[in-house]
Amino acid sequence: MDQTAAVPAQQSAAAGAPVPATSLSGLAFSKGHGTGNDFVLIADPGDAHEISPEQVAQLCDRHRGIGGDGLIRAVPSRYLPEGRDLLEQDASAGWFMDYRNGDGSLSEMCGNGVRVFVHFLIAQGLVELGPGQSLTIGTRGGIKKIVRTADGYAVDMGPWEFIFPTEAQSKAMDALVSADGLEVARPGLSVSMGNPHTVVALAELGELAATKLFTAPVVDPKPANGTNVEFVVPAEPLVHDGVGTITMRVHERGVGETQSCGTGACAAAVAIRHWAGSSAPNAWHVNVPGGVVDVRFFPGEDGREHVELSGPAVIVASGTLS
């Protein structure tokens, strides 16, 4: 669907800060999502558009802008210092996913966003990628390799790690998490997927539905750069035909509750697998409000355990800012 978006360019909806009226006029955009986690997408092959945090918040505003959980700018890696660093590691990482949260803040990674980013590059004719073929891109969370599948994309999200490893191994928890709708604080486990997550297990789906995520949960102690918080209910039975199943909701740092979070799904599987013990499987279905994503653990070439995230990606609209 093509459309022209009449987005006022004078003021940021989030911060109220003035934005130059001509800076975004005429800029082409697309809107896409991965299991409901939605993004404004900008193709910038010449690094011609410096989009401020205020402008990002304006474009992602759901009432006065296009609306999205974040904004992704597709830019050649050679134009950014962090992109050039990654090119020294892997010269094939020609495109960089310049991602910002809906409030304009920078984010290291977005698992759903990576899939949508690659789908956008294909739709824009910037890359060619057939089923079974792979593409390497740069992100602030490092180099990522994406394979096009029959029904979406699979992303090697890289290795996972505990943010507080001593506490995670000795106590299987490292934080207490409070949220509206939960009577008492719950234990959480903090996992890094290139960005920070704190995972909380709940007993039943009714408890998950009653948890209110209009405001950010309180995490104590909070990781240095803040954290995304996942509330997760394991299925009963947890494992069927060798695959684990969990259901989760998430409050994303700098965004609020979203319909899905790819890195959060990976972190949730890490935590539940850790709690379940050595017999837990390496393949997981993760139910999120926006659909289902799959998570798989496998040994990486670097000798560390990696996480693969797979799921769909959709472009729903394209247009030009007025």
Which residues are designated catalytic? 110, 261
What number of CA atoms fall less than 13 Å from residue 237's CA on the CB side?
A: 7
Per DSSP, 128 falls in state -
H-state helical runs in 79-182? 81-89, 111-123, 165-171
- CA 141 to chain CA mean position, Å: 11
**Got the DSSP string for 172-229?**
S--EEEE-BT-SS-EEEEEEESSSEEEEEE-S-HHHHHH-B-SSPPEEESPPTT--EE
User: In 3D, which of 279, 189, 200, 188 has the Cα closest to residue 238?
Assistant: 279
Cα 20 to chain centroid, rounded:
29
CA dist 66 and 102 (Å) reads 11
In DSSP terms, 100 is beta-bridged to 71, 106
Q: Residue for token digits 């950010």?
A: 216
Tell me the C-alpha distance between 106 and 143, whole Å: 17
